[in-house]
């Protein structure tokens, strides 16, 4: 099976695998209070990764050796750090992890628990509907097909799952 990287679109790589396209989020890291995303790899002077600030209006750039997050800032930021953004990233990661481990807890209760731990600024920026969908996606099993529960005759149980 061959993976081909076609293009970098905002935060996503579009990868073709067989007949379907798969979206993969570009790697991100937090360095000195700023959120960075990996933009590309440079091979000409050794293996180097290029990182960019996630804020669209900021031109900050940094380099790091491949496989590490030890950033060397090349262009400085034109804004202050955002504690709210970092808090949101941590909350989303926590929500995804809890969604996978606490499968018996209802989605709305899981989202409410995470929102209660956030500051007022972060809680207003975390959309409940988006967070609920994030939980549902984290709980989905890969390869599981949709089942039409209205007609039991059409339900096929795959023995490989």
> pLDDT tens digit string along 67-125?
787 888 999 999 988 888 888 888 888 898 888 888 888 999 999 999 999 999 888 88
Q: Does residue 15 contact residue 21 with C-beta atoms inside 8 Å?
A: yes
Q: Between 128-139 and 107-117, two packed helices, what is the crossing angle to 10 degrees? A: 120
Residues of the chain with CATH 2.20.25.240: 27-80
Kindly report the pTM of this predicted structure. 0.59
Is beta strand 34-42 parallel, antiparallel or unpaired with respect to 72-75? unpaired
Tell me which architecture the domain covering 27-80 has in CATH. Single Sheet (2.20)
Percent of the chain with pLDDT over 70: 70
Token couple for 62? 């940094």
**What's the pLDDT band for 158 if we cut at 50, 70, 90?**
low
Six-digit token string for 18: 């067989």
Confidence of residue 45 (pLDDT cuts 50, 70, 90): low
Report the relative pairing of strands 72-75 and 61-65 from DSSP bridges: antiparallel
């Amino acid at each position: 099976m061959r993976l081909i990287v076609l293009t970098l679109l905002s935060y996503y790589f579009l990868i073709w695998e067989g007949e379907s396209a798969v979206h993969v989020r570009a790697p991100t890291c937090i360095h000195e209070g700023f959120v960075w995303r990996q933009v590309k790899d440079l091979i000409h002077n050794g293996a180097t990764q290029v990182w960019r600030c996630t804020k669209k209006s900021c031109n900050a750039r940094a380099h790091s050796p491949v496989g590490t997050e030890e950033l060397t800032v090349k262009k400085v930021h034109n804004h202050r750090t955002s504690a709210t953004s970092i808090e949101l990233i941590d909350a989303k990661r926590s929500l995804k992890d809890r969604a996978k481990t606490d499968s018996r807890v209802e989605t709305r209760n899981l989202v409410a628990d995470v929102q209660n731990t956030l500051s007022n600024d972060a809680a207003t920026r975390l959309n409940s509907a988006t967070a609920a969908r994030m939980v549902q996606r984290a709980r989905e099993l890969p390869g599981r097909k949709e089942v039409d529960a209205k007609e039991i005759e059409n339900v096929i149980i795959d023995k490989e799952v």
